[in-house]
């Protein structure tokens, strides 16, 4: 199995990155030049490290525009493939190799999300291979001993990277397409095992963002279970709520703004879509949903995160529709629709809701959730 596919357009690397990364172009091109000079000077390991940092920088500045993402991720995949090829095979560089593989798996996972279902599995299997190789290195006794000889405190770093890798592996299993309900259930169970493994990696309190991401992923997973498991739905819904709330409990609004907004959005969506046993409970859940969506909107910059902004405004529109405020609902939905170029379906779902409001024939709120964790 090929781990990372090389792009045929290697000669256009700088031009493609120029288009894909306006805010970070200078940093990326500078680092590419640094890596070239390091390699020419005989420092292949340093060159690989520099290219690995480029990959992380690109992932951190990933745009919401799908076309830009495609260029962004394709070029990052190429850079990381080069880093793996250039890195010496000696055990001394095993930890470094694992770190590059972990970053590569995230690139492949995000690339798969942009593809059609038939194209997704190949990329996801490559991502699975990469992250399993990284995990095997992190678990290796000789690697851990080497890290500890440098500093005993480095084991905390190993635990952090292992928790991050388990989250990535869980997201890969969650995203894998399935040909039967049984296969889908098996993928979900494997994803849940990975997320729970992430919680057991060292002291999660030392890494609040990883802890929050793990709870967020478990929230998304139990949300899926709630909507697909029939009689077990109520307990799964409660667990989804608990995990989203646990994520928010450790997040700092100013330091982890994106994940803070995402967790509030997901909890708002969950409460909005869940069928309450009676009208009183339904009204309480809708009010709670509006509060969470309001918190998410406060933490979302529409210039930086237009997709997240559209998602929040869309669900605020659905909440107003549920309250019977159809005029306000249409206004919010039309605002969300102005961001259609960022939406995976081009705004088709929002248009369906607008048409339903105009015809007084509303779709079901139970259909609004996405199956995948972020």
Q: Which domains does the chain have, with CATH numbers?
A: 1-139 (no CATH), 252-374 (1.25.40)
pLDDT at site 17: 47
Please state, rounded to an integer, the average pLDDT across all residues of the chain: 86
- Average pLDDT, stretch 130-139? 96
- To the question of pTM greater than 0.95 for the whole model, the response is no
- Distance between CA atoms of 364 and 356, rounded to whole angstroms? 10
63 pLDDT higher than 60: yes
Residues sharing a CB contact under 8 Å with residue 53, sequence separation 6 or more, in sequence order? 31
Kindly indicate the confidence band of residue 24, based on its pLDDT and cuts at 50, 70 and 90.
low
- Between 42-46, 66-70, 369-373, the lowest mean confidence (pLDDT) is in 369-373
What sign does the CA torsion over 186, 161, 70, 368 have? positive
Kindly indicate the confidence band of residue 269, based on its pLDDT and cuts at 50, 70 and 90.
very high
The CA distances from residue 5 to 68, 77, 101, 108, 123, in Å, are 19, 7, 13, 10, 9
Kindly indicate the confidence band of residue 212, based on its pLDDT and cuts at 50, 70 and 90.
very high
pLDDT at site 311: 95
- Distance between CA atoms of 225 and 238, rounded to whole angstroms? 11
Kindly indicate the confidence band of residue 145, based on its pLDDT and cuts at 50, 70 and 90.
confident
pLDDT at site 204: 61
- Distance between CA atoms of 161 and 100, rounded to whole angstroms? 11
- Distance between CA atoms of 216 and 224, rounded to whole angstroms? 13
């Amino acid at each position: 199995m090929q781990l990372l596919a090389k792009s045929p357009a290697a000669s256009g690397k700088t031009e493609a990155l120029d288009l894909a990364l306006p805010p970070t172009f200078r940093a990326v091109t500078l680092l590419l030049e640094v890596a070239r000079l390091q390699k020419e000077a005989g420092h292949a390991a340093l060159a690989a490290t520099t290219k690995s940092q480029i990959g992380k920088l690109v992932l951190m500045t990933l745009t919401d525009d799908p076309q830009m993402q495609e260029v962004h991720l394709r070029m990052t995949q190429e850079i990381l493939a080069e880093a793996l090829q250039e890195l010496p095979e000696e055990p001394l560089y095993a930890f470094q190799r694992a770190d590059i593989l972990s970053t590569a798996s995230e690139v492949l996972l995000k690339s798969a999300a942009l593809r059609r279902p038939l194209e997704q599995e190949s990329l996801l299997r490559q991502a699975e291979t990469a992250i399993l190789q990284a995990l095997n290195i992190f678990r290796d006794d000789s690697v851990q001993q080497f890290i500890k000889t440098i500093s005993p405190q480095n084991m905390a770093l190993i635990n952090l990277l292992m928790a991050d890798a388990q989250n990535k592996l869980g997201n890969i299993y969650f995203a894998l397409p399935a040909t039967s309900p049984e296969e889908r259930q098996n993928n979900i169970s494997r994803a849940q095992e990975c997320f729970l493994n992430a919680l057991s990696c060292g002291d999660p309190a030392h890494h609040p963002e990883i802890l929050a991401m793990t709870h967020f992923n478990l929230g998304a997973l139990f949300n899926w279970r709630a909507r697909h498991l029939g009689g077990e739905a109520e307990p799964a819904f409660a667990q989804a709520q608990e995990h989203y709330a646990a994520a928010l409990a450790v997040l700092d609004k100013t330091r982890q703004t994106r994940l803070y907004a995402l967790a509030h959005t997901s909890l708002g969506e969950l409460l909005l879509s869940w069928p309450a046993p009676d009208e009183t409970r339904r009204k309480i859940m809708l009010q709670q949903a509006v509060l969470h969506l309001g918190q998410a909107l406060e933490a979302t910059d529409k210039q930086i995160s237009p997709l997240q902004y559209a998602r929040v405004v869309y669900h605020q529109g659905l909440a107003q529709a549920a309250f019977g405020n159809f005029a306000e609902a249409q206004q919010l939905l039309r605002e969300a629709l102005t961001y259609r170029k960022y939406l995976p379906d081009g705004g088709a779902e929002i248009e369906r809701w607008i048409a339903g409001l105009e015809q007084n024939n509303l779709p079901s709120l139970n259909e609004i959730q996405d199956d995948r964790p972020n």
